[in-house]
Amino acid sequence: MNPIPSSEPITNLTFDELPLGARARVSRTLTQDDIVAFALVSGDVNPAHVDPEYANATRFHGTIAHGMWAGAMISSLLGTEFPGPGTIYEGQTLRFHLPVRAGDTLTAEAVVTARDVERHRLTLDCVVTNQTGATVVSGEALVRAPLQKVSRARAALPQMHLFDPAARLARWIDGWAADLAGQPPVQCGVVHPCDATSLAGALAAARRGLIVPWLIGPEAKIRAVAEQAGLDLGDARIEAVEHSHAAAARAAELAASGQVEVLMKGSLHTDELMHAVIATPALRTKRRISHVFRFDIPTYPKPILITDAAINIAPTLEDKADIVASAIDLARVLGVERPKVAILSAVETVNPKMVSTLDAAALCKMADRGQIVGGLLDGPLAFDNAISAEAARIKGIRSEVAGDADILLVPDLESGNMLAKQLEYLAGAAGCGIVLGARVPIALTSRADGEASRLASAALAARLALAWRERRP
């Protein structure tokens, strides 16, 4: 890929412009992403740099940067401005004095200490200091300085996004576990956990203090799965029933009686579980039951909710009003004071032949009249306008929602499901899901979801359950 030049010039200094004592410096603050990027490029995956568990047990008591990262700052200074383009780097000595960590601000300085007029060589004393002024790296560079003046547009390099879905989910879970600490434990009915993945996810959530699991299903099968997978059931409670239908019915019964505050889907079909919930009057509310995905996307600056991509096949306008209201309530529990809702369609104008655009316009008017509260709605919006402020600007769309959406309301299940799976499998998004509209939140995961997604869904449901303890829907 050829980098696109920017308007900012990069200009060198010739040999004649660099007398003895001439100096220059450059500063930069190191981030954890810088450390990871250096490991990726160099192949140096020493656990002292990238494995916090290992690094915490060393004398450094945490991860440190590669020593050559600070050395690279010297190279950058010499190659870009002192002397700059045309410089031939002939030698470099380095001595490492102190470790460098994410958050440190480093300053690299070079001073001309000797000049070889015949060969146009410069010897430079190089030092890198941290924000306290302490020397972290020192050394001496030998360069052949340019003789001709060079001025070029500075290259604008392509953006690099470092994103580890598993690590991002882990940070979510750590934060939510901290929020739940000190609260009465959330009782969770785990419905038919009869495969290794669903059982492991429930037990992992219990170990993290997210839930107290009630394992609802055939006891012999649950114990056999645990034994085969090497899972320790510990003191987990088992509600023994004969099969998945009975497990769903028992889970609904426990939720209706208040014995469990959350339901978590195991190795049964979604419609099997939801049929039991819907068939239990005590679990119904005035709202339509719907599903919300929560995604963290590498190229989007904040978490985003997508609804409904799992429950309602072809929601009516009335259904969509409930779906939006539930998503707004969830976003507010997650700390978004006034969620921005983008109502999606294929276009951004109202078209009488496209029902999704008519529904979008009606929902916005319902919000104006106070029939939908707590959020800021706009639509119809095409997907690009919803998530890209630049796309909205080009199309002349003036909106507080466009390019900054917290919630995406999709027209139907097919479009929503495809969008969610594209984000996960093509865009590297990290996500979890929950069912709303019942008296208890339901952690709903796909059979393809791993342990991390199940943990995140459990944490999301538990957090919502705590919020509902004071105000039941």
Domain residue extents for the chain? 13-151, 286-437
36 pLDDT more than 90: no
Rg (CA), the chain: 29
Give me the residue label for tokens 């030998």: 142
* Model confidence band, residue 18 (pLDDT cutoffs 50, 70, 90): very high
pLDDT for the residue 163: 67
Number of H helices, E strands in the chain: 15, 18
> What is the C-alpha to C-alpha distance for residues 26 and 84, in angstroms, rounded to an integer?
13
* CATH topology for the 13-151 domain: Thiol Ester Dehydrase; Chain A (3.10.129)
Q: Is the peptide bond before 19 cis (omega within 30 degrees of 0)?
A: no
CA dist 109 and 86 (Å) reads 19
Phi, psi of 88 (to 5 degrees): -110, 115
Statement: residue 146 has pLDDT above 50: yes
Which of 142, 195, 464, 105 has its CA nearest to residue 305?
Answer: 464
Q: Looking at the predicted structure, is the pLDDT value of residue 7 above 60? A: no
Rounded-to-integer distance, Cα 343 and Cα 361, Å: 9
How large is the angle between the packed helices 355-368 and 317-333, nearest 10 degrees?
A: 60
H helix intervals, 369-450: 383-387, 389-394, 413-425
Mean pLDDT of 335-359: 95
Residue 303 has pLDDT above 70, yes or no: yes
Q: Is the pLDDT of residue 145 over 70?
A: yes
What share of the chain in percent tops pLDDT 70? 95
pTM over 0.85, yes/no: no
Q: Is the pLDDT of residue 446 over 80?
A: no
Closest CA to 53 of 43, 63, 64: 63
pLDDT for 4 beyond 50:
no
CA 348 distance to own-chain centroid: 28
Residues in contact with 133: Cβ distance below 8 Å, sequence separation at least 6, in sequence order: none
> Which carries the bigger pLDDT value, residue 5 or residue 389?
389
Judge contact between 386 and 405, C-beta under 8 A.
yes
- Give dist(CA 222, CA 62) in Å, integer: 40
**pLDDT of res. 448:** 66
pLDDT at 180 over 70: yes
DSSP string computed for 144-178: E--SS--EEEEEEPPP-----HHHHHHHHHHHHHH
pLDDT at 451 over 90: no
Mean pLDDT of 151-174: 74
Q: For residues 96 and 16, is the Cβ–Cβ distance under 8 A? A: no
Q: b or e along 52-73 (b: 16 or more beta carbons within 10 Å of the residue's beta carbon)?
A: eeebeeeeeeebbbbbebbbbb
- The rounded mean pLDDT for the chain is 90
Determine the CATH number of domain 286-437: 3.40.718.10
Model confidence at 313, pLDDT cuts 50, 70, 90, reads very high
pLDDT classification of 471: cutoffs 50, 70, 90: low
- pLDDT > 80? residue 377: yes
Percent of the chain surpassing pLDDT 90: 68
What is the pLDDT, as a whole number, of residue 8?
A: 74
Mean pLDDT of 262-284: 93
Look at residue 473 in the predicted model and tell me its pLDDT.
52
Instruction: Give the C-alpha separation, 89 to 359, whole Å.
Output: 65
CA atoms within 13 A on the CB side of 267: 17
C-alpha span between 386 and 413 (Å, rounded): 18
The pLDDT, as a whole number, for residue 5 is 45
Q: Is the pLDDT of residue 53 over 90?
A: no
Q: Phi and psi (nearest 5°) for 434?
A: -150, 145
